[in-house]
Amino acid sequence: MHANDYIFPTNFKWGAAASATQTEGSANDENKAKNIWDYWYQLNPERFHEGVGPMKTSDFYQRYTEDIKRMKAIHLNSFRTSISWSRLLPDGINVNGEAVSFYQKMFDQLIEHGIEPIVNLFHFDMPLLMQEKGGWESLEVVEAFNYYAHTAFELFGEKIKRWTTFNEPIVPVEMGYLNHYHYPCVVDMKRAVVVAYHSMLASAKVIQTYHESNQTGKIGIILNLTPSYPRSDTKGDVKAARIADLFFNRSFLDPSVYGSYPEELTELLRSYDLLPETNQEDLAIIKNNTVDFLGVNYYQPRRVKEREKPYQSDQILPEKFFESYIWPERRMNPYRGWEIYEKGIYDLAINIRDNYGNIPWYVAENGMGVENEERFSDESGMIQDDYRIEFYKEHLKWLHKAIREGSNCFGYHVWTFMDNWSWLNAYKNRYGLYRVDIRTQERSLKKSGQWFGDVARKNGF
């Protein structure tokens, strides 16, 4: 093999992804209102790994100038982050001047350093004020989100040419309404379906607002797609995988790209009395306001088989329709408990090419979380995270193959630029190209950061 066997398209976006709540810190400062994470941490700090909450996180709010220089030092040409709704509009209506000043300066500095900001509007961080109105169960909150988005477009639209409405909208559904891992910890599939539908409606309304306000950029959505692989080609296993795909991928992918829901999903929900209330006007908004591009987050596959044990619960949850199974040949990230399956990224790319009109898309997150990374430091203190380099390299090889075969992929963003706070897990698993010492907030480049910088500089490896 020669150096640079894998060369990527011209102007390929090499970058990293982050979110406001996970990096900004200053959770109680500068007129920011509480979001559900600030509130939940006050309520149950013991649920957060080592009791670390969202107050400080990686202190990007104070340190963005230096951090952007660090991005430049490793040749990133793009960076995706989010705006904090509760920081920008603390009372839901009036703009917080401190927030505007922070975001304007941060975006300006990215642009000055040749790093394109890709800006996301919602990353799991429902303002507490809006959660008290019902969160995504409430159509009033759907309208409030549209108002917030419109405000952001007016303030920052001249600078920002790539927007996304949501990051992983299935996650608040799955974790907050089918599990106890995100607030409000409701386990109720009927309410979960309402949250999913209203999130999709909110996304479509914001896309409509964007295009109607004469903006000159593009707007999309970021979905975490998990290829669903059946255990075997028996009818039962194939059906189980198809239902998992409907619930966890196509419930957002189809309406985002095609403006409609798969018939099979609608029929399945109807047969269990789980369909949300809809009206023709809202369905028309979803139909007519599809995305300009897709962001795709990929970490691990989903492997399923038909249910073998009887379903015990008296309430319907997705698990009623399939069970997970362990693929005998799987390779694991032992630290995170996730399977590493690089070909999954290729399968997603080909699916988008063949079944979703070959829409422009980019890898919006791909990464490997590892606990106690300090043990891999060399004598100079640099973390020798060769496992992460291998993870990226193998995924990029499969992505390169998909692009060569015509998949319309324009970028690859790692999760994440520097170690950041991650919801209930706090700083348990580290993902960064830069290490963050959470006591001192000092940043230091990891070996993977050096490697990835080299890839970005050469546009390949």
Given 116, 168, 174, 306, the catalytic residue: 168
Active site residue 168: yes
Given 116, 137, 342, 365, the catalytic residue: 365
- Contacts for 234-242 with beta carbons within 8 Å, 24 or more apart? 234/306, 236/305, 236/306, 237/304, 237/305, 237/306, 239/306, 240/304, 240/305, 240/306, 240/307, 240/321, 240/322, 240/323, 241/304, 241/322
Q: Phi/psi class of residue 279: alpha, beta or left (left: φ > 0; alpha: ψ in -120 to 50)?
A: beta
- Contacts for 95-99 with beta carbons within 8 Å, 24 or more apart? 95/151, 95/155, 96/30, 96/31, 96/32, 98/30, 98/31, 99/30, 99/31, 99/32
Do the beta carbons of residue 427 and residue 45 sit within 8 Å?
A: no
Active site residue 365: yes
- The tokens of 187 are what? 């386990």
Q: Are strands 331-333 and 338-340 parallel, antiparallel or unpaired?
A: antiparallel
List the catalytic residues.
168, 365
